[in-house]
A and B are shown apart, each in its own frame.
Chain A
Amino acid sequence: MQSATTVAAGSDQSVARPAAPRLATTGAILAAAAALLAAGVLVGFWIAPTDASTLGFSQKIFYIHAPIAETALLAYGVAFVAAILYLRRGDARYDRLGVAAVRLGLLFSALVMITGVVWGRAAWGVWWAWEPRLTTFLLACLLYSGYFVLRGSVDDEARRATYGALFAIIAFVDVPITFFATRFLPAGLHPVVIGPSGSGMDYRDLIAFVAGLAGMTLLFVGLLRVELGIESLHEQLRELKYRLGR
């Protein structure tokens, strides 16, 4: 009689790519990101003209703040797409992608809050104003933290991934809705303009902004690759432990 010691069929195996080239490309991406960000900061802080409005020098934080915000939204968008793909195809790799994307999205959202708070203090002397964008990111932080709480309270692996995916979809749809809702609130005490004022961007402002945006996006991609690489190794370790333990 055959006893059940054969290796579990259908176990999820990521295609094992050689480690060295993978690290190399990730390294290159991160280096490019660093370069772009450095360039953006340089141009933005030293070369571009100081903003004419009352914001003055503090406006320059925009060149970091806005790219971070957009990258956070990009991360949540990636999680949203990964969630849909997971529900459609059932491939655990999409689940891992989703988790990594949400984690990075949370990181970037926290940075949005920090830079936003710093900016608020510098520009208007208050630590916090219920400004629509900041408020939306605050709620996004709390919302996506719930993502991890939800996952943590499900014992079954497959269900955990399914529920995570459902939540990532619901949450992403809610973010723009939240943003529009916060604008219902009566106008705050401080007119908040997150952006360069005046009749438009000076070309140097534009360079700084685009550099910052590109740099942040590359940073996100690089970090995502690192996260996925780590997660993939964890997964292989779990797989080995499981097989040895049977």
Chain B
Amino acid sequence: MGWRQFKAMVRKDVVSELRTRETVVSMFLFVVLAMIVFHYAFTVSGGGRLSFYTGGMLWVVFVFGALLGLNRSFAHEKDDGCLDGLLLCPVDRMTIYLAKMTANLIFLGAIQVVAVPVFALFFASGRIATHLPAFLALVVLADLGIAALGTLLATITMNTRSRDLLLPIVFLPLVIPLLIAAASGTSALLSGAAGAPSVLGRLAFLLVYDGVFLVLAYGTYDVAIGE
């Protein structure tokens, strides 16, 4: 029954999104535009070494892009006034969390599938291809952390005034550890400087990070989503 409910919730969010395409298109446009802005911001006369920053830039763009999507985690429920409808169902609150988190992951992943090649195109990073498995592992673990933390926080902020402003304020400080690990790991891969051990260290860190916030969500979600 839990699985059927989980599938129903994820399907609903994906179908809604496919129909309106509001969230995903906005996220994608933001990500690409941000990359262009960064290119111009960092191109100094004399030719600066952009490659120093590319790993970080990619993740800054993903984190801020993810925020756009996270803000809309419960948009359908809030805008259409049917949060009650969801809460009335005999469903484990944790199942709701996992379904929302999965939907956010799907949207984020969909953006990245297109944005990463664009990134490689703009910044001529052939190295991603050579280190693909490591890069993918990094992306998957980082996305999981962003979705896990972001969905939990979005659940809290959706019931506040100025919820769109509040989510970045609470989310960004908490996501910085993840950002550090993902960005420095990506930079290490792209510049070919660091060896396997340091990337593994970051992957391990991300795994712990994800685990911690998933456990936190498990312990607090009943309270977070409503009495």
Contact = CB atoms under 8 A, between A and B. Distances in A.
Query: Is chain B in direct contact with chain A in the complex (CB below 8 A)?
Result: yes
Interface of A: 87, 139, 142-143, 146, 149-150, 153-155, 159, 162-163, 166-167, 169-171, 173-174, 177-178, 180-182, 184-186
Given A153-B160, A184-B184, A167 B177 contact: no
B216 A173 contact: yes
Nearest to A147: B170
A185 B180 contact: yes
Interface residues on B, range: 20 to 34
A162 B222 CA distance: 12
B173 A166 contact: no
Nearest to B166: A153
Chain B, interface SS category: helix
B141 to A, nearest CB: 14
A182 B180 contact: yes
B159 A167 contact: no
Contact of B152 (A142, A150, A170): A170
Nearest to B163: A153
B181 interface: yes
B209 A177 contact: yes
Contacts of B176: 139, 178, 181
Contacts of A181: 176-178, 180-181, 205
B212 A146 contact: no
Given A153-B160, A181-B205, A169 B220 contact: yes
20 contacts: A139-B173, A139-B176, A142-B173, A149-B169, A150-B156, A153-B163, A153-B166, A154-B159, A163-B156, A166-B224, A171-B174, A173-B212, A174-B174, A174-B177, A177-B177, A177-B208, A180-B177, A181-B176, A181-B205, A184-B184
Nearest to B224: A166
A124 B44 CA distance: 30
Interface string B150-167: 001100110111110010
A155 B161 contact: yes
B145 to A, nearest CB: 10
Contacts of B170: 146, 149-150, 167
Contacts of B157: 150
Contact of B174 (A149, A170, A184): A170
Contacts of B100: none
B93 interface: no
A177 B194 CA distance: 23
Contacts of A154: 159-161
